[in-house]
Amino acid sequence: MVRIGFLILVVGLGWLAADVGHISGLEYSGTYLLLSSLLLAVGLYGSTHGIDRSEARQHTRLILLAVTVGVLLKATFIAGVVYHVSGDPRAVILAVTMAQIDPLSVASVMADGRLSDRARTILGAWSSFDDPVTVLLAFYAVSFVRPPEGGLTVGYLADLGLNALFAAVAYGVWRVISKAPPLLSYLAAGVAVVSAAWSSLMLGLATAGLYLRMPDPRWLARVVTGAFVVSAFMMGLLLVDGTNLMMGVLLGLTAFAAQMLAALVLTHGLPVADRIHLGLAQQNGITAVILALSFERDFPGFVAVIAPAILTVNLVHVLANRICDVWGPTSPLTSPG
């Protein structure tokens, strides 16, 4: 699970720093905007970089269902419930922000023996693929709320064209350096992340992450962990005016319920125990935190909702899985693939 205690500590330190230093209006600074974009680029590149392409080919159908039907089903369910209860016009953006399963959090579940081999593989692929998809969907959802200059269609086409160009250039660079010294691979990855953050070409970066790989992924894991710490601290800085606890709890509970619904629909044919554990797999972490930072500028109070929502999801995850361990069906340690 997400290290809840650590997350609370870092967020608390950020809140304390803002309170003591009388920091306010941070989200309107140019430095904040660039830093939040850079953190998002790091997290997004980390998600697609971690995708096992051979594994993806083995589970193409389920992955396609998870990142299309699954993501849309979860986002629609969350948005519908949140808007019905609260009437908040940000419901769609809030829903997409919480719809993904955080792959870093899921990594700790993979070794605890709850899931069969098949379910473990499915969850790993699901979390890796739906993470970048929800990031991109979130930014496109904002365009519906606030259409770009020149119209929605023109804005989309221009954006897609630039992202395609970015991905093509990254692919060309990869072909040139694929057999070069490892240092060039690290340098190319760093340039790609910074360039995408500066130009907001996240779709191109997500595509590049599938082939522009670092020779030693442990370095990337450290960078992503560092990005998580920085983003959690920044979230604390923005919480100095308080949280929207009731809205956050509602969003978190609905997000957890949405995963149960999506798993019920998508995992037909799997053993009951695996279906239950996949339904209880919702966790949120770095992606939701960074998306909250990114949208706070355009939607004031966004972080105040997302922060308690993340805490709610991860606390419910722990409680629900412990109850399932005691009262639910047992799952064999292995099952046929």
Residue 244 pLDDT > 80 = yes
Q: Identify the pLDDT of residue 94.
A: 94
Average pLDDT, the chain: 83
Q: Identify the pLDDT of residue 155.
A: 59
pLDDT, tens digit, 9 for 90 and up, residues 105-163: 776 666 666 677 777 777 877 877 787 788 878 877 776 666 555 555 565 677 778 88
Task: Round to whole Å and give the CA distance between 157 and 154.
Answer: 5
pLDDT, tens digit, 9 for 90 and up, residues 20-39: 988 888 888 888 888 988 99
**What domains, with CATH codes, occur in the chain?**
4-327 (1.20.1530.20)
pLDDT, tens digit, 9 for 90 and up, residues 250-291: 999 999 999 999 988 888 777 888 888 889 889 888 889 989
Contact 280, 320 (CB under 8 A): yes
SS3 of the chain: the string is CCCHHHHHHHHHHHHHHHHHHCCCCHHHCHHHHHHHHHHHHHHHHHHHHCCCHHHHHHCHHHHHHHHHHHHHHHHHHHHHHHHHHHCCCCHHHHHHHHCCCCHHHHHHHCCCCCCCHHHHHHHHHHHHHHHHHHHHHHHHHHHHHCCCCCCHHHHHHHHHHHHHHHHHHHHHHHHHHCCCCHHHHHHHHHHHHHHHHHHCCHHHHHHHCCCCCCCCHHHHHHHHHHHHHHHHHHHHHHCCCCCCHHHHHHHHHHHHHHHHHHHHHHCCCCCHHHHHHHHCCCCCCHHHHHHHHHHHCCCCCHHHHHHHHHHHHHHHHHHHHHHHHHHCCCCCCCCCC
pLDDT, tens digit, 9 for 90 and up, residues 155-206: 567 777 888 899 999 999 988 888 888 888 899 999 999 999 888 888 888 8
The pTM of the full predicted model, rounded to 2 decimals, is 0.83
Q: Identify the pLDDT of residue 93.
A: 92
Task: Round to whole Å and give the CA distance between 92 and 77.
Answer: 10
